[in-house]
């Protein structure tokens, strides 16, 4: 998952290292760091904004380590589902239990259907739908689409998925 | 100047296109250091032979006026066996079930040590390994740019222009008929059936469109690429094929509202060959419209290289045949 965090550093040498070491030690992947050196908080500390990716299970340990190192944490935002992909479904989408089709993704725990648009032009003709799927990572997004394809095959639905280049 | 004697076996749209291009490009060919003399032409029921070189204008007229290329009744195979020449231009129709006469024509040419330039996909989609081996054993040249995407550079792009690169994957649109139908369905918000009918009226789709719209034609081209580029020893039967017949105008509209177009995309990667309708971002280089073909080659050194062009048409396909001939015999 992706974590965005505001921290506060004392204005002494080596503070930034104290903040970043716990993240890298717990296999976090730093995406962005903004160091507001010219600003000061009312407490006289320097505000720093971090964005990193980490395993959800490691976040508590990272926070604990930062606090041990004397780093102030003023805000933590988690964004669990960071990868998004669209697919199109064509076939008798509703009559083949649309709830079950969506559940097959939601059940994974690592991906969710977050949006669906359905177009049913006439009774007895095939419907089309666009599904937006969010997942915790790119690998999981691929897996979710692959599960959807298996379910769709059994229900005689066509899945139109993005080209590979979309994911790289 | 060296003289290259050729036969054109198969005189449908591609064979006739080749004859027209040879007439038109006589000087350009000479500039490349050789003279091309067509000594025999055969269609399915007649032949014209002249060891001194045929008047291609006359052959084309004869085909147009009475449906025959000449008064001889020799088959293509008999011409390959008995008429002395260096290169067979094999343009008989594709037969995906057996490889058709094309397969025997090519194998016989190689046995005799003759070079082959072809636009015929069938034999390559079924027996590429056997053909490549026969060519190599007899020290004959085998060129088939016209089999993959007509005038769009594909095989020769990989063999020459980006030579030395390792190819990681290939993706592309390899059937102009599917591309035309999908493009028009989106433009007009019309049904598949309606746009198929339009493309049949325009001569873009055949009366029996199965071969194109079910993805079979694209699958054959993918197999040729997979075998040539990745040495996969695949046949047409190894391709996972889904066609465009169930695509709806609603699906195209939904895709568009997400910033995508739907294209029939063929893909060779990690030992898998597949062709199916896919979502392509509107601004992506693969999102070409109309009857265009496009191929994106992912390489280790050059990154992704994309080539696009006309995938069908008699003169366009003949352009690929001409470029194959020049690449074999050029001396400049």
Please indicate, yes or no, whether residues B231 and B323 belong to a single structural domain of this protein. Answer: no
Residue-wise pLDDT for B181-213, tens only, equals 999 999 999 999 999 999 999 989 888 999 999
Instruction: Write out chain A residues lying below 8 Å of B297, CB-based.
Output: none
Residue-wise pLDDT for B248-304, tens only, equals 999 999 999 999 999 999 999 999 999 999 999 999 999 999 999 999 999 999 999
| Minimum-distance CB partner of B255 among A91, A130, A132 | A130
B227 domain residue, yes or no: yes
ipTM here: 0.83
Report which secondary-structure segment, H or E, holds A126: none
| Minimum-distance CB partner of B284 among A126, A158, A165 | A165
Dihedral, CA of residue B78, residue B84, residue B86 and residue B90, to nearest 10: -20
pLDDT for B312 beyond 90? no
CATH superfamily of A83-160: LOR/SDH bifunctional enzyme, conserved domain (3.30.70.2690)
Please indicate, yes or no, whether residues B146 and B14 belong to a single structural domain of this protein. Answer: yes
B162 domain residue, yes or no: no
**What CATH number has the domain spanning A2-79?**
3.30.70.260
pLDDT for A167 beyond 60? no
Residue B286: give the domain boundaries: 167-310
Q: Are the C-beta atoms of B188 and B182 separated by less than 8 Å?
A: no
∠ CA A123-A126-A128, rounded to 5°: 115
Q: Are the C-beta atoms of B295 and B160 separated by less than 8 Å?
A: no
| Domain limits, CATH 3.30.70.260, in chain A | 2-79
Q: What is the pLDDT of residue B23?
A: 97
Q: CATH number, domain at B229?
A: 3.30.360.10
Q: CATH number, domain at B79?
A: 3.40.50.720
Residue-wise pLDDT for B223-244, tens only, equals 999 999 999 989 989 999 999 9
Residue A57: φ, ψ to 5°: -65, -20
CB neighbourhood size of A34 (10 A): 10
Instruction: Write out chain A residues lying below 8 Å of B286, CB-based.
Output: 163, 165
Q: How many domains does chain B divide into?
A: 2
Shortest CA distance from A125: residue in chain B: B248
Instruction: Write out chain B residues lying below 8 Å of A117, CB-based.
Output: 254, 257
Question: Among A167, A26, A119, which residue's Cα sits nearest to residue B278?
Answer: A167
Please indicate, yes or no, whether residues B41 and B141 belong to a single structural domain of this protein. Answer: yes
pTM here? 0.84
Q: Give the residue, B113 or A136, on which the prediction is more confident.
A: B113
B160 domain residue, yes or no: no
Question: Among B285, B253, B249, B279, which residue's Cα sits nearest to residue B264?
Answer: B279
Would you call B251 and A88 a contact, using CB atoms and an 8 Å cutoff? yes
B158 domain residue, yes or no: no
Provide the annotated active-site residues of B.
Answer: 221
Residue-wise pLDDT for A101-150, tens only, equals 999 999 998 999 999 999 998 888 899 999 999 998 888 999 999 999 99
| Domain limits, CATH 3.30.70.2690, in chain A | 83-160
Please indicate, yes or no, whether residues B19 and B143 belong to a single structural domain of this protein. Answer: yes
CB neighbourhood size of A56 (10 A): 11
Please indicate, yes or no, whether residues B103 and B201 belong to a single structural domain of this protein. Answer: no
Full strand arrangement of the beta sheet holding B34-42: B47-49, B34-42, B2-9, B87-90, B115-118, B142-143
């Amino acid at each position: 998952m992706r974590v965005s965090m505001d921290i506060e550093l004392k204005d002494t040498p080596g503070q930034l290292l104290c903040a970043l070491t716990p993240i890298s030690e717990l296999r976090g992947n730093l995406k962005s760091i903004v160091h507001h050196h010219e600003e000061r908080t009312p407490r006289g500390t320097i505000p720093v904004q971090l964005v990193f990716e980490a395993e959800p299970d490691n976040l508590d340990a990272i926070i604990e380590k930062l606090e041990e190192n004397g780093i102030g944490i003023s805000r933590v935002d988690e964004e669990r589902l960071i990868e998004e992909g669209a697919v199109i479904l064509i076939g008798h989408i509703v009559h083949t239990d649309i709830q079950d089709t969506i559940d097959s993704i939601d059940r994974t725990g690592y991906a969710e259907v977050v949006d669906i648009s359905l177009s049913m032009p006439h009774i007895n003709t095939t419907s089309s739908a666009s599904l937006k799927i969010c997942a915790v990572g790119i690998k999981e997004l691929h897996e979710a689409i692959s599960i959807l394809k298996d379910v769709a095959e059994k229900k005689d639905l066509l899945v139109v998925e993005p080209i590979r280049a979309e994911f790289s | 100047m060296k003289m290259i004697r050729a036969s054109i076996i198969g005189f449908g749209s591609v064979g006739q296109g080749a004859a027209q291009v040879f007439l038109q490009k006589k000087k350009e060919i000479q500039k490349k250091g050789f003279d091309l003399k067509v000594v025999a032409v055969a269609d399915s029921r007649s032949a014209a032979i002249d060891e001194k070189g045929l008047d291609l204008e006359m052959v084309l007229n004869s085909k147009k006026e009475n449906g025959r290329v000449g008064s001889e009744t020799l088959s293509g195979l008999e011409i390959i066996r008995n008429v002395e020449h260096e290169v067979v231009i094999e343009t008989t129709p594709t037969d995906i079930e057996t490889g058709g006469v094309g397969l025997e024509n090519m194998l016989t040419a190689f046995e005799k040590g003759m070079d082959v330039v072809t636009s015929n996909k069938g034999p390559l989609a079924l027996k590429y390994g056997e053909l490549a081996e026969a060519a190599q054993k007899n020290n004959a040249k085998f060129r088939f740019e016209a089999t993959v995407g007509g005038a769009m550079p594909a095989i020769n792009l990989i063999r020459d222009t980006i030579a030395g690169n390792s190819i990681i994957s290939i993706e592309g649109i390899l059937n102009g008929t599917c591309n035309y139908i999908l493009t028009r369905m989106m433009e007009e918000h019309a049904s598949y059936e309606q746009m198929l009918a339009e493309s049949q009226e325009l001569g873009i789709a055949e009366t029996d469109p199965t071969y194109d719209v079910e993805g079979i034609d694209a699958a054959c081209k993918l197999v040729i690429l997979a075998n040539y580029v990745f040495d996969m020893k695949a046949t047409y039967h190894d391709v996972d094929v889904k066609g465009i017949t169930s695509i709806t105008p609603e699906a195209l509209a939904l895709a568009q509202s997400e910033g995508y177009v739907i294209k029939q995309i063929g893909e060779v990667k990690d030992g898998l060959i597949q062709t199916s309708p896919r979502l392509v971002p509107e601004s992506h280089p693969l999102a070409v419209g109309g009857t265009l073909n496009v191929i994106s080659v992912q390489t280790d050194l050059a990154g992704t290289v994309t080539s696009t062009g006309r995938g069908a048409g008699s003169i366009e396909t003949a352009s690929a045949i001409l470029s194959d001939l020049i690449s074999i015999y050029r001396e400049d």
